[in-house]
Amino acid sequence: MHSVLVTGANRGVGLEFVRQLLRLREPPKHVFAGCRTPEDAMELQRMAKDNQTLLIVKLDVSDETTFAESVEMVDKAVGEKGLAVLINNAGILRLGGTETTTLADMEESYKVNVMGPLAVTQAFLPLLKRAAAKSEINSHHLSIHRAAIINITSALGSLQLCTSSKYIPYRTTKAALHMLTQCMTFDLSPAGILVVALHTGWVRTDMGGKTAILSPKESISGMLNVMRYLTEINAGQALTWEGRILPW
Which residues contact a copy of itself (rule: CB under 8 A)?
64, 97-99, 101, 103, 106-107, 110-111, 114-115, 118-119, 121-122, 125, 157, 159-160, 162-165, 167-168, 171-173, 175-180, 182-188, 236, 247-248
Element (H, E) at 238: strand 238-240
Min separation Cβ 239 and a copy of itself, Å: 14
Q: Please, are residues 57 and 70 in contact by the beta-carbon 8 Å criterion?
A: yes
Min separation Cβ 51 and a copy of itself, Å: 33
Min separation Cβ 247 and a copy of itself, Å: 8
Q: DSSP states of 48-90 as a string? A: HHH-TTEEEEE--TT-GGGHHHHHHHHHHHHGGG---EEEE--
Alpha carbon separation from 235 to 56, 87, 150, 161, 197 (Å, rounded):
29, 15, 10, 21, 9
Nearer to a copy of itself, 101 or 143 (CB): 101
Q: What crossing angle do the helices spanning 42-50 and 12-23 adopt, rounded to 10°?
A: 10
Min separation Cβ 11 and a copy of itself, Å: 25
Instruction: For residue 207, give the nearest of 109, 84, 114 by alpha carbon.
Output: 109
The Cβ-side half-sphere exposure at 54, using a 13 Å CA radius, reads 25
Nearer to a copy of itself, 41 or 123 (CB): 123
Nearer to a copy of itself, 150 or 177 (CB): 177
Between CA 82 and CA 233 the distance in angstroms is 24
Nearer to a copy of itself, 64 or 242 (CB): 64
Min separation Cβ 110 and a copy of itself, Å: 5
Nearer to a copy of itself, 83 or 176 (CB): 176
